[in-house]
A and B are shown apart, each in its own frame.
Chain A
Amino acid sequence: MSNENASDVKVFDVDTIRKFVELMNEHELTEVDLQQSDQKIRLCKKDLVAAPVAQYAAQPAPAAAPAAAVSDTPAADSANISVVTSPMVGTFYSRPKPESPNYVKVGDSVSAETVVCLLEAMKTFNELNAGVSGKIVEILVNNEDAVDVNKPLFKIDTSQ
């Protein structure tokens, strides 16, 4: 028995969006942000380079069984900081189920095998390992954020 019910989700209706598009044209606006409760829509003219719709458009397909990607230290960080990045495009989940605690939090010690998050694409959920041992010093994304390939997710201090 499924509790999924698409019609329960309230979004801006098409007529409202059309009116905003007409207003954008009338006033020569290139971008408008709309928010209703926790849902938001950004309307952009198509020649805008940073249009949010386009940012998802040309990404590679999610890979099979993604391995944790740990990049070298960004310039601003110390030599002991490793950054765990996303190996795929998808949605970031910080916990296994909505009612569960997060896999990890800042200050937690992790091993290379520790699961730090879930990444989802096309109803496929992939557990991601930390890839290195150390202490989580920063979590760079929020639960249910859309992430791209190589998006930094965690900073881990490998000296601890």
Chain B
Amino acid sequence: MESKIHQAAAQHPTAEIHVVMTEDELVKKIPQLNSARFFDELESTNDFAKSAFKLADLSFPFIIFTSTQTKGRGRAGKSWDSSDGSLTFSLGISSAECPIPPPLISVVFGLAIANTLNRRCDIPICKIKWPNDIYANGKKVSGVLIESVPANHRGIIIGCGINANNSFLISSSSNWVATSFADETGKEIDIKELMAEIVEAFFFRVNEYLTICQDFAMIPEPVLADYQAIDFLTDKRITLQIGKEIIVGSYVGIRVDGAIQLEVCNEIHAFHSGSIVKIES
């Protein structure tokens, strides 16, 4: 399939930044990668990736990149639409080759994003909020959503959205909690180079994980230590919503199995699911 990026660049002068790297160049740059497809517009990179996986249309690991995403999704169907300058892609991997439980892949991928963005800052500004949201100077800059396709297919799709060069500075909403890397640093990023660095960092982490880990269901100590070093929730009071239930407690870190731990009524409890709906200092 031919890339439509050159056509996109002709239509949008700002798309110049997108033509730097081709699909083939990306595959050559990342040894673990087998295929890549770039689009100028998709409804959802995750939906496209899931279809490709089920049809065995692409050899994995693969990347689906789009310049514009029109029906992106976050948790519980919340929208994540990408505008000009944001980075939106999905990485498809085989669970046979990456036997880490998907919830822990979620943590490892979030860490790869935060560390990659921080390497581009003079002073690190990105932190990770359980399980994998990335915050820059206290505002959300990136989200990750992972989907497993049914067991017989054994595929894991990692959907990633990063506010890179788009801007929120003119947003009229006083409650807006999102930001972009460019807003916070004044720097523009080649978004395909950023994507390549994140995926390389992720594969490096996976290799480290599989090399030193005796039990894949537990986060290795070096990974956990790196997570703790940029943990956005440290010393915060958290309100966690699980279904219709609300739990309020003091954050005491993530557990080795990735669960969030809250101190409630002088006891520490761990939770694998739920959405953080309030954070207080």
> Is the beta-carbon distance between A125 and B106 smaller than 8 angstroms?
no
Per-position contact with B for A1-34: 1 when CB-CB < 8 Å, else 0?
1111111110110100100000000000000000
**Which range holds the interface residue count of chain A?**
35 or more
Q: A126 with B277: in contact, given A6-B177, A11-B239 (CB under 8 Å)?
A: no
Per-position contact with A for B244-265: 1 when CB-CB < 8 Å, else 0?
1111100000000111000011
> Is the beta-carbon distance between B272 and A127 smaller than 8 angstroms?
no
Q: A4 with B82: in contact, given A61-B259, A122-B258, A125-B146 (CB under 8 Å)?
A: no
Cα distance, A61 to B260, chains bound together (Å): 11
Q: A60-B257, A125-B146 are in contact. List 11 more A-B contacts (CB 8 A).
A: A3-B78, A6-B278, A39-B246, A121-B103, A122-B107, A123-B145, A124-B147, A127-B147, A127-B149, A128-B150, A146-B243
Q: Total A-B pairs in contact (CB under 8 Å)?
A: 185
> Is the beta-carbon distance between B75 and A9 smaller than 8 angstroms?
no
> Is the beta-carbon distance between A1 and B80 smaller than 8 angstroms?
yes
**A156 interface residue per 8 A CB criterion:** no
> Is the beta-carbon distance between A145 and B101 smaller than 8 angstroms?
no
B residues less than 8 Å from A42 (CB atoms): 245
> Is the beta-carbon distance between A46 and B177 smaller than 8 angstroms?
no
**B99 interface residue per 8 A CB criterion:** yes
B residues less than 8 Å from A128 (CB atoms): 150
**B237 interface residue per 8 A CB criterion:** yes
Of the candidates A9, A53, A122, A145, the one whose C-beta lies within 8 Å of that of B277 is: A9
A38, A64, A124 — which one has the most chain B CB atoms within 10 A of its CB? Answer: A124
Shortest distance from the beta carbon of B173 to any chain A beta carbon, whole Å: 8
> Is the beta-carbon distance between A62 and B272 smaller than 8 angstroms?
yes
> Is the beta-carbon distance between B267 and A46 smaller than 8 angstroms?
yes
B contact residues vs A (CB 8 Å cutoff): 73-83, 86, 95, 99-107, 130-132, 140, 143-152, 154, 156, 161, 163, 166, 168, 175-178, 216-217, 237, 239, 241-248, 257-259, 264-267, 269-274, 276-280
**A120 interface residue per 8 A CB criterion:** yes
Cα distance, A140 to B20, chains bound together (Å): 52
B residues less than 8 Å from A146 (CB atoms): 242-243, 245, 273-274
A60, A63, A122, A146 — which one has the most chain B CB atoms within 10 A of its CB? Answer: A122
Q: What's the dominant secondary structure at chain A's contact region?
A: loop
Shortest distance from the beta carbon of B255 to any chain A beta carbon, whole Å: 9
Shortest distance from the beta carbon of B280 to any chain A beta carbon, whole Å: 8
A residues less than 8 Å from B273 (CB atoms): 89-91, 120-122, 146
B residues less than 8 Å from A74 (CB atoms): none
> Is the beta-carbon distance between A5 and B175 smaller than 8 angstroms?
yes
Nearest 10 pairs of A and B residues by beta carbon: A61-B257, A122-B103, A122-B131, A9-B277, A67-B151, A98-B77, A124-B102, A124-B146, A57-B269, A97-B77
A and B contact pairs by CB, cutoff 8 A, 19 listed:
A2-B74, A3-B74, A4-B78, A6-B277, A7-B175, A8-B175, A9-B277, A11-B248, A53-B269, A54-B269, A57-B269, A65-B151, A66-B148, A122-B107, A123-B132, A123-B145, A124-B105, A125-B146, A127-B150
B76, B81, B86, B267 — which one has the most chain A CB atoms within 10 A of its CB? Answer: B76
> Is the beta-carbon distance between B266 and A46 smaller than 8 angstroms?
yes
> Is the beta-carbon distance between B278 and A11 smaller than 8 angstroms?
yes
**A52 interface residue per 8 A CB criterion:** yes
Q: A62 with B103: in contact, given A2-B143, A8-B175, A98-B76 (CB under 8 Å)?
A: yes
